[in-house]
Structure 1
Amino acid sequence: MCADTPDYKDTLNLPETDFPMRAGLPKREPEWLERWAEIGIYDRLREKAEGRAPFVLHDGPPYANGNLHIGHALNKILKDMVVRSQQMMGREARYIPGWDCHGLPIEWKIEEQYRKKGKNKDEVDVIDFRQECRKFAEGWIDIQREEFKRLGVTGTWDKPYLTMDFHAERVIAEEFQKFLMNGTLYQGSKPVMWSPVEKTALAEAEVEYHDKESFTIWVKFRVSSFDLPEVELSDEEATDEDREAVAVRVAQASEDFVGAHVVIWTTTPWTIPSNRGVVFGPDISYGLYEVTARPDECWAEVGDRFILADNLAADVMNRARLEEGMYRRVRDVTRAQLDGMTLLHPLAGVEQAEGEWDAPRDFRAADFVTDTEGTGFVHCAPSHGMEEYEMYRELGMLEDVITYNVLDDGGFRADLPFFGGKYILNRKGGEGDANKAVIDKLAATGGLLARGKIKHSYPHSWRSKAPVIFRNTSQWFAAIDRKVGDGQDDLGQTIRERALRSIDELVTWTPRTGRNRLYSMIEARPDWVLSRQRAWGVPLTCFVKKGALPTDPDFLLRDEAVNGRILEAFETEGADAWYKPGAKARFLGDEHDPEAYEQVFDILDVWFDSGSTHAFVLRDREDGSDDGMADLYLEGTDQHRGWFHSSMLQACGTKGSAPYRGVLTHGFTLDEKGNKMSKSLGNTVSPDDVTKQYGADILRLWVAQSDYTGDLRIGPEILKGVADGYRRLRNTMRFMLGGLAHFREEDRIAHDEMPELERWVLHRLAELDERVRTGYAEYDFQGAFQALFNFATVELSAFYFDVRKDALYCDGDTARRRAARTVLDILFHRLTTWLAPILVFTTEEVWLERFPGDASSVHLVDFPETPAAWRDDALGQKWTRVRQARRVVTAALEEQRRDKVIGASLEAAPVVHVEDAETLEALKSVAFEDICITSAIGLTADPSPAEAYRQPDIAGIGVVFEKADGAKCQRCWKILPDVGTHSHTGTCARCDEALAEQ
């Protein structure tokens, strides 16, 4: 610029904003949290929404026993996005956070502290112990509450729900008493998953599966006798020869089978002392195999005969180190012949066994036996296996086959021959000495054919991480196929019927696959094991009559007056009242003799606690649900067997139907490579670390960008990508703020007075409004955000803002500039509110930058209503053509810029050859040179010359480059022929006029 050329920079309408390019979220976000607390944002939302239709998301309670992990963050952020978006779409969206406070994880922590101090839990007063558990939970609740709040999650943090609150404990007991009174509660003895380390029964939801190396053994059960049922031949058919032939066949079979061995295979050698029978498949082909030769170090002897499934015989012989040629198949073994055999336990008759295993074993057919692995025979220890338990229950033989050899710590009863005092697991959950003792004894007494080890998926307690066992114990159950009370209910008479119909008729599933998973689980599940043999929880508040059997009608005391006294005490004293001296007499009152009843001291499964939350949160709280139901339960996919499941069963047993109208499930969090996160692998991502490095909004943006219906990956590189996307959004918001400086209501231009470009933006907003609302309503946050992000970064920043910068900066008080600023104002209100459920901190910063004030907050604003007149599909189609043509022009100019022919697009005046008449007409009807940011542009229907630039994916448009003619305007930098002919030196007509206005 020459020295005498004026500097017009100060005459431009340049953006004005203090909104920083750098977010500084880790430092700024806590300031907004403090501000929201000061203005009571959640209470103000409730006041604002009074009278609206409520929307209640019921919080699945996290466990109060440790810092949050990334899965917690995913879950709570999703919930917050649901609540905020529903509120901003016109609902009264309530959110009451809660905590699960009872149960083994907390009790286990206190026991660990005891062990370090050399204290014995059993020597501590139970109420004192429970108080320590309560304090432990309270401490972690305070920590987790602050961690959740740091993520920008809004709710009644000052008044959450806790399962250990006195009222909650009262209601949990009351809900249990409903099962007591409606006839679905019963005491039974059956194999349940049992943790020897924790000494308690576990529910399926408390178990996770990990690989485990187990001993595996092939065990011989000797055929002690054979008695083939008589073959009945009528006098007309039978001859003496016939009868003699049958007798010969029976004698031959007896000679073949007696002394032979039926071989079983098991991965739990410790269950052999509890064996009560062997079963075979009714349709499996079996054969009798004889050893003809043997190698060294083989437990089989020449002449030994084994009965095996034909499909598995070769594998079994191989395990016994018998190669092909060392054995032969002697004969078929029929179903009738198997029925005629009597088997002996491998330890039968062993010295010093005191006759423990001398009785013949039950031997029968069972449908669950297969010939896909093992031997084709299954050994039955009904105290430790559900299939054989159910089989003997149906046969009415349980009393004959149930054993009580394994104690609650996983050790054998002291008087069990050879194995008394041996343990299945050691105290830390590792391999105990029981399996080895059983294997060694079988080997020493000739009962073993082969042994080995196998690595397989095996259930472990998710708390102690130790393997579990199946153990027959006396437990309390809720019968899910028994008629509930009088059974009069629209959805069915049993808990299972009600649950299955609720799943299909009452609940909306997001994604739909959640329905199938829960339905199949409930369809096949057994009765609910309600009892746990622990101390920290709500007790099973019931009494049983001494000397009565569980099947007796008066076994359980059912008395509303007794129940009422218990509930009254729990309301004021909590569940500790059950354990206080004199509690039994206090609750039984004058109506019942305390000496005639036993007080049950098992505690309820904690899933019953959380399953009951609908009663003391949705039903009982003023800010709960108007009809006692939640609009949404939202948890991870593991809760199909957890909270979704227990809540469904519990509510169907007490109120007759599901406690929720909708269920949303999300996947698990994995590292960037798709691996499960593990501290030992060092691939965990802590929410605290992310908020300290990037800010919570980046974590929230990661959630919004992810497909939560599957597993979600997160790690340093992924977070960097999220942060880059955030910066692009932030720049879009900053441009709007800068362009709206000093915008006044009188500057606003009506829709029908706007240029086409602005009306096209409003048309796109109308389309986007529908997409965003639908996305939020359907919990499709990824879809809603992606639509917003593409609009903000591609259609606004890369197109509309790029085009309109010239008018915003250089125009005087023109209708075009006013229209552009009107659109910026409209964009501002929509983008900030639409993004507010996701970027809670950033949108608040943007809002306050424009509307400062003590009471101001974007979160107190609803999504603006969009006028129907904005939607103009024909205009949208036209501008799709215009933007396509622009793409060809800008690509052609970029090629010239890359070749150093021009430095900026304003140096160009290209000629655009357009074959399609409709497209050419569209381009001529707009200021296409402004759209392409060139100083001039030519439009022609002439065929494109050979040298024209073409875009492969856009047919019918060619661009021939030409330089702009004229001088460069020193204010707007356009190159125009009229520059220098106006009163203001070196300006074009537009800039000269703008300067004259100043």
Structure 2
Amino acid sequence: MTDQPEPAAPDWRATVFLPKTDFPMKAGLAQKEPAILAKWAADDLYGQLRAARAGRERFILHDGPPYANGDIHMGHAMNKVLKDIVVRSQSLLGKDAPYVPGWDCHGLPIEWKVEEQYRKKKLDKDQVDPIAFRAECRAYAERWVDVQRDQFKRLGVMGDWDDPYLTMKYDAEATIAGELLKFAESAQLYRGAKPVMWSPVEKTALAEAEVEYEDITSTQIDVAFEIVESPIPELVNAHAVIWTTTPWTIPVNQALAYGPEVEYVHLNIVGHSSGIKSALVATALYAQFAKRVGLPPIASGSSDQGVSVECDGAFKGADLAGTLVRHPMHHLGGFFAKPRPMLPGDFVTTDAGTGLVHMAPDHGEDDFLLCKAHGIDPVFAVEGDGKYRADWGWLGGQGSVINPKFNAPDGPICTDLREAGGLLAASADFQHSYPHSWRSKAKVIFRATPQWFIAMDKALKPSPLPGRGLGEGPSPDTASLEGQALSPTLSPEGEREFTLRQTALAAIDATRFVPEKGRNRIGSMVAGRPDWVISRQRAWGVPIALYVNRATGDYLRDPAVNARIVAAFRAGGADAWVTADHQALLGNDHNAADYEPQSDILDVWFDSGSTHAFTIEARYGAGTVADLYLEGSDQHRGWFQSSLLESCGTRGHAPYKAVLTHGFALDGQGRKMSKSVGNVVDPLKIIGESGADILRLWVASTDYFEDVRIGKEVLATTSDAYRKLRNTYRYLLGALDGFDEAERVAPADMPELERYVLHLLATLDGELKAALGAFEFNRYARALTDFANNDLSAFFFDIRKDSLYCDAASDPKRRAYRTVLDLLFHALVRYAAPILCFTAEEVWGTRYPAGGSVHLLEWPEVDGAWANDDLRMKWERLRTMRQHLTAEVEPLRRGKVIGSSLEAEVTAVVYDPADAALLRATDFAELAITAPVTVTEGDPALAVEMSGDDLVRFEVAKTEHDKCGRCWRHLPDVAEDSALCGRCAEVVAG
């Protein structure tokens, strides 16, 4: 008798309700995202959204303008993505949240690039027609606006890309000029000759925000000034010694400064190589001075070189009042022959040097102020290119003064001083931090030139109304100004008047800062900043459209003239000033021959500081204030501050209600990105390889209030988090295949597990709203991903897959599960939309191909009543026990005692009656995905010393029950292996 083959086990796969979806696990974002962008553009999604939100509460994020001069970098990408997340999330909350992108188009960054083309051709820009040159700058900016616009759009940033604001648009230039004229009409503007930071390479003044500090090594010198007159007779013919690290300022010296409370010692010197026989230095600094110039300790005998020093008296600095010295180069006559006064300076310390400071009012703020107080004015010896004037008595026509060789110990300055007997020591070894232009990277100098300033401490006329309750900080009143910098003054009419500094500090108090530390940072900067220098000696920008009276030196303040200037700018842009018929602008009341039109241009920070006027107010109405400004933390000294000062000076309040600052993007090792180092991470490359959503998720997941890192490892972690989220959406789409409203179950009729998940959803909903309110998108992203991974994929989905696959379609439990999945889908796709803008659109479109854009939707309707603390406590305990059991099962699975947890039969030894009741009331085998669980009670006497997980002990063994051929569960009612359990038999039978 031949053996007959055993009949094949029945194949029940066709009876299982497996998820079905076309949504692929492989994202392919780099290929899909451009098509989604094209659809948004074709559908005018931004216009649809404006129409849908019309009339709603408005939220305005005002875009800080990047310069239009190069491809975007990671800082740009991080900033724009954060802004887009803010705008999309506010729109999701139902608000009308427009976004108008903008660009800074004037100024040195662009002009410098255009000049580079001239330098390559060995052409002089100054010989080019100014209108033609400005046209080249405009064309350069237009080209880069178009390039950057496409790059920002590729990031998924949604906004009014067809009508952005540009500082070079005619209306913008007219408004900028008009804002300047407001300062002029209120007399806050003045022309003065203060030292400002000046770039000899770029030949223009620079703002603090245009300067970066780098460590350099400079020449330090000790120079002797012979005392020719003094109320202390023994000091006559002695030498007052100064120390400086800027030898090039010695040819512009006009005085020396001493500390009134500093003690000085008069030294008799024998045998020094310089020939100096006596010197005056601070007692506390003698040791440092002696080391530099080669002197022994006082009264210690001769040094190895035969030099000896004795003290011939000590004096308080105040005793030096009336002392005169002469310049080491006095023999040159003219400017150098005039004796220099010694003046009291509170800024003189004994931290370094000699305790005496040489004063060059052309090249230092302290120098300028002290000399001005004593009637000494700048002489403007150093030209814009960093060379001394050709007619200057010493080194005329030479320089550049920032050239290390020019200042070196063997350079012309030190050589001449040495020959004149005035140089005691020189060494090129002093290391310190020094300002550089952040564009040309060249060193800058302080240089006094005629410039236009906005006064910080002049009473404003008319006095502004400080504070408008703009943010979540305190709403200031006049009392809040009393302690700020200066007290208010009284006008002749008895009205309280406040300065620009006071008004700005009050506005800072009224503004919300995220993070809060930003308040102190910008506050300290405003409290201590000098007057705002707003003029630049360049060609590409908005001209300072003022007429200065040739006879009086005052500028014209005529509203009618100003109105004609603004109208001319509006019609023909800023070029209208370059080609102006000035008599026509001045009108019949003024003679053009009496006035000098100004040729300087405005600081670009004034341009960008005025953007609120021609963007926010122009589009949304006068008096409208932005809800949020969002930029990098360096903008406390840049755009945040220039916008604040501009608005406070013209409107009496800040242009923003809140300010959010983020850190900088560093490489994976935490280093600043640098092309020379080769560690630059290119956002465009990331987008091209992985897609913008990966970059967006990285931004949202970082602690962006601080500096953040990005590199291969960081992006790999982000990609993994994205993959898990995408898998969640794929599961939801597949599990909801064919779901319709007839299947829906009311929450009250659902099993406890479903109601517990609704509780978790309600809790998540509140957490996400709170995170949005705090602008904490890393908290938002973490809460969303943790919910998807831990509460759904690893728990809820895992437990209910048996019901989804194997229960009858009409089974109440399965219907309840799918109802909750539907609620989860509608919530999660909306929650993710502000961050994963492309993926959320793909997910939504997969389920609802004709359902429009996900970005037109509003925040999901999540019932707060779903939150149930009793359910939470009960299910948290069940989850803890489930995790405890899983830890016991895993070793058996790894040891191949069992193939999966479904083969694990469990005995739960419970020592807490409450836990025993909980387990008996729950199908714990279903929760733990095991074979049947038997609950037995342990000895209560042993429970006294137990707590937590110890109160439940799980004993695990391989089950002897057969496996259902359909659901694969090992159950007592399965007659034989591969047969059906009772539930599956009933479902298959229909």
TM-score norm. by structure 1 comes to 0.92
Q: Is the partner of 1:278 in helix, strand or coil? A: strand
Q: What residue in structure 1 maps to residue 788 of structure 2?
A: 792
1:583-602 matches, within 5 Å, as: 583-602=581-600
Give the Cα separation in 1 of the matches to 2:773 and 2:318: 64
Q: Is the partner of 2:99 in helix, strand or coil? A: strand
Matched, 1:994 2:987: yes
1:847 aligned to which of 840, 844, 848: 844
Residue-by-residue CA offset, 1:841-888 (whole Å, 9 max, x unaligned): 1111111111112x6111111111211220101111111100000011
1:281-430 matches, within 5 Å, as: 281-292=259-270, 299-301=273-275, 304-324=277-297, 325=300, 326=303, 327-330=308-311, 331-339=313-321, 341-348=323-330, 350=331, 353-393=332-372, 395-397=373-375, 400-425=376-401
**Aligned-partner residue type, residue 451 of structure 1:** A
Residue-by-residue CA offset, 1:182-233 (whole Å, 9 max, x unaligned): 11111111100011111111111111111122211111112223324xxxxx
Give the Cα separation in 2 of the matches to 1:266 and 1:174: 44
Unaligned runs of 5+ in 2: 468-496
Q: What residue in structure 1 maps to residue 415 of structure 2?
A: 440
Give the Cα separation in 1 of the matches to 2:102 and 2:946: 58
Give the Cα separation in 1 of the matches to 2:653 and 2:440: 34
**Aligned-partner residue type, residue 309 of structure 1:** A
Residue 952 of structure 1, CA deviation = 11
Q: What residue in structure 1 maps to residue 813 of structure 2?
A: 816
Residue 311 of structure 1, CA deviation = 2.1
Q: Is the partner of 2:361 in helix, strand or coil? A: coil
Cα 1:584–1:951 shift into 2, 3 Å:
farther
Residue-by-residue CA offset, 1:725-769 (whole Å, 9 max, x unaligned): 111111111111111111111111110111111111000000000
Give the Cα separation in 1 of the matches to 2:621 and 2:907: 66
Residue-by-residue CA offset, 1:469-499 (whole Å, 9 max, x unaligned): 0000001111121122232534562211111
Give the Cα separation in 2 of the matches to 1:102 and 1:124: 18
Give the Cα separation in 1 of the matches to 2:431 and 2:414: 18
Q: Is the partner of 1:222 in helix, strand or coil? A: strand
Q: What residue in structure 2 maps to residue 481 of structure 1?
A: 457
Give the Cα separation in 2 of the matches to 1:723 and 1:443: 66
Cα 1:320–1:122 shift into 2, 3 Å:
same
Matched, 1:965 2:960: yes
Cα 1:126–1:626 shift into 2, 3 Å:
closer
Cα 1:431–1:876 shift into 2, 3 Å:
farther
Residue 693 of structure 1, CA deviation = 1.3
1:604 aligned to which of 602, 605, 615: 602
Residue-by-residue CA offset, 1:243-299 (whole Å, 9 max, x unaligned): xxxxxxxxxxx34x23322211111100001111111112223222333566xxxx4
Residue 537 of structure 1, CA deviation = 0.6
Give the Cα separation in 2 of the matches to 1:589 and 1:54: 43
2:823 aligned to which of 815, 826, 847: 826
Q: Is the partner of 1:178 in helix, strand or coil? A: helix
Residue 401 of structure 1, CA deviation = 3.8
Q: Is the partner of 1:979 in helix, strand or coil? A: coil
Cα 1:356–1:975 shift into 2, 3 Å:
same
Give the Cα separation in 2 of the matches to 1:261 and 1:396: 22
1:573-584 matches, within 5 Å, as: 573-580=572-579, 582-584=580-582
**Aligned-partner residue type, residue 850 of structure 1:** R
Residue-by-residue CA offset, 1:481-540 (whole Å, 9 max, x unaligned): 1122232534562211111111102x1110001111111111111111111111111111
Matched, 1:671 2:679: no
Cα 1:2–1:916 shift into 2, 3 Å:
farther
8 Å CA contact 1:191–1:383 kept in 2: the answer is: yes
Q: What residue in structure 1 maps to residue 973 of structure 2?
A: 978
8 Å CA contact 1:424–1:433 kept in 2: the answer is: no
Matched, 1:158 2:162: yes
Q: Is the partner of 2:916 in helix, strand or coil? A: helix
1:192-231 matches, within 5 Å, as: 192-228=196-232
**Aligned-partner residue type, residue 979 of structure 2:** G
Give the Cα separation in 1 of the matches to 2:788 and 2:868: 20
Q: What residue in structure 1 maps to residue 679 of structure 2?
A: 683
**Aligned-partner residue type, residue 245 of structure 2:** T
Give the Cα separation in 1 of the matches to 2:812 and 2:277: 105
More displaced, 749-758 or 985-994?
Answer: 985-994
8 Å CA contact 1:897–1:903 kept in 2: the answer is: yes
Q: Is the partner of 2:265 in helix, strand or coil? A: strand
Give the Cα separation in 1 of the matches to 2:890 and 2:358: 79
**Aligned-partner residue type, residue 962 of structure 1:** A
Give the Cα separation in 1 of the matches to 2:424 and 2:199: 31
Q: What residue in structure 2 maps to residue 240 of structure 1?
A: none
Give the Cα separation in 1 of the matches to 2:296 and 2:14: 98
8 Å CA contact 1:56–1:625 kept in 2: the answer is: no
Give the Cα separation in 1 of the matches to 2:609 and 2:924: 64
Matched, 1:752 2:748: yes
Cα 1:5–1:49 shift into 2, 3 Å:
same
Give the Cα separation in 1 of the matches to 2:464 and 2:751: 67
Residue 434 of structure 1, CA deviation = 8.9
Residue 300 of structure 1, CA deviation = 4.1
Matched, 1:123 2:122: no
8 Å CA contact 1:102–1:536 kept in 2: the answer is: yes
Give the Cα separation in 1 of the matches to 2:290 and 2:164: 64
Q: Which runs of 4+ in 1 moved over 4 A?
A: 429-435, 943-946, 950-953
Matched, 1:513 2:517: yes
Matched, 1:456 2:454: no
1:164-203 matches, within 5 Å, as: 164-203=168-207
Give the Cα separation in 1 of the matches to 2:21 and 2:498: 66
Give the Cα separation in 2 of the matches to 1:965 and 1:625: 78
Q: Is the partner of 1:959 in helix, strand or coil? A: strand
Cα 1:58–1:191 shift into 2, 3 Å:
same
Give the Cα separation in 1 of the matches to 2:765 and 2:426: 68
**Aligned-partner residue type, residue 824 of structure 2:** L
TM-score norm. by structure 2 comes to 0.93
8 Å CA contact 1:343–1:362 kept in 2: the answer is: yes
Give the Cα separation in 1 of the matches to 2:405 and 2:645: 36
Q: What residue in structure 2 maps to residue 773 of structure 1?
A: 769
Residue 919 of structure 1, CA deviation = 2.8
Residue 455 of structure 1, CA deviation = 2.0
Matched, 1:275 2:284: no
Give the Cα separation in 2 of the matches to 1:932 and 1:714: 39
Residue 335 of structure 1, CA deviation = 3.2
Cα 1:176–1:198 shift into 2, 3 Å:
same
Unaligned runs of 5+ in 1: 229-253, 550-554
Cα 1:209–1:336 shift into 2, 3 Å:
closer
Matched, 1:502 2:507: yes
Q: Cα RMSD (Å) of the superposition?
A: 2.1
Residue 710 of structure 1, CA deviation = 0.5
8 Å CA contact 2:251–2:394 kept in 1: the answer is: no
**Aligned-partner residue type, residue 848 of structure 1:** G
Q: What residue in structure 2 maps to residue 733 of structure 1?
A: 729
1:880-919 matches, within 5 Å, as: 880-919=876-915
**Aligned-partner residue type, residue 595 of structure 2:** Y
Residue 542 of structure 1, CA deviation = 0.9
Aligned residues: 944
**Aligned-partner residue type, residue 111 of structure 2:** E
Residue-by-residue CA offset, 1:646-692 (whole Å, 9 max, x unaligned): 00000111111101101000011111111110000000111101101
Cα 1:431–1:158 shift into 2, 3 Å:
farther
**Aligned-partner residue type, residue 155 of structure 2:** L
Residue 98 of structure 1, CA deviation = 0.5
Give the Cα separation in 2 of the matches to 1:164 and 1:431: 41
Matched, 1:941 2:943: no
Give the Cα separation in 2 of the matches to 1:744 and 1:719: 39
**Aligned-partner residue type, residue 240 of structure 2:** V
